[in-house]
């Protein structure tokens, strides 16, 4: 099963073993990772699951769709590395994925 590392804004690290097919948001909630509220339950309608995915991993994840782009406009501190965790489905190719959490959501 893929291993996902969540890194909080203060560099606190959470290493989690995830289920294939779950989203990064679901894994975060199931493991009480701070900073992911997911108010809309994964409907791409709140932006409270904003995370940063670095370049090394970005190419392994499908690009943002229009709805995700629109919701990210509501998030704080958005960068080119910003994604909504509810829009990233985990599979074996993402084993070792590192997910950084924004300071604004702690």
Q: Least CB distance from residue 44 to ligand FES, whole Å? A: 5
Minimum distance, C-beta of residue 61 to ligand FES, in the bound complex (Å):
14
Q: Which is nearer to ligand FES, 11 or 64 (CB)?
A: 64
The minimum distance between CB 29 and ligand FES, in angstroms, equals 9
Provide the minimum distance between the beta carbon of 35 and ligand FES in the complex, in angstroms, as a whole number. 12
- Nearest position to ligand FES, beta carbon: 86
User: Distance of CA 75 to CAs 78, 79, 83, 87, Å?
Assistant: 6, 10, 10, 15
In the complex, the residues that contact ligand FES under the rule CB under 6 A are 25, 38-40, 42, 44-49, 71, 84, 86
Q: Which is nearer to ligand FES, 16 or 75 (CB)?
A: 75
14: left (phi over 0), alpha (psi -120 to 50) or beta: beta
Query: Locate tokens 């339950």: which residue?
Result: 41
Contact 95, 2 (CB under 8 A): yes
Show Cβ contacts of residue 89 under 8 Å, excluding neighbours closer than 6 positions.
Answer: 21, 22, 23
45 vs 58, beta carbon nearer ligand FES: 45
């Amino acid at each position: 099963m893929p291993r996902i590392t969540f890194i909080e804004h203060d560099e606190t690290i959470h290493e989690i073993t995830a289920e294939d097919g779950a989203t990064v948001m679901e894994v975060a909630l199931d493991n009480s990772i701070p900073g992911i509220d997911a108010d809309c339950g994964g409907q791409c309608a709140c932006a409270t699951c904003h995370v940063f995915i670095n370049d090394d991993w970005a190419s392994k994840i499908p690009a943002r769709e229009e709805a995700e782009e629109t919701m990210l406009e509501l998030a704080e501190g958005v960068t080119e590395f910003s994604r909504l965790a509810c829009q990233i489905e985990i599979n074996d190719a993402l084993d070792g994925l590192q997910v950084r959490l924004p300071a604004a959501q702690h």
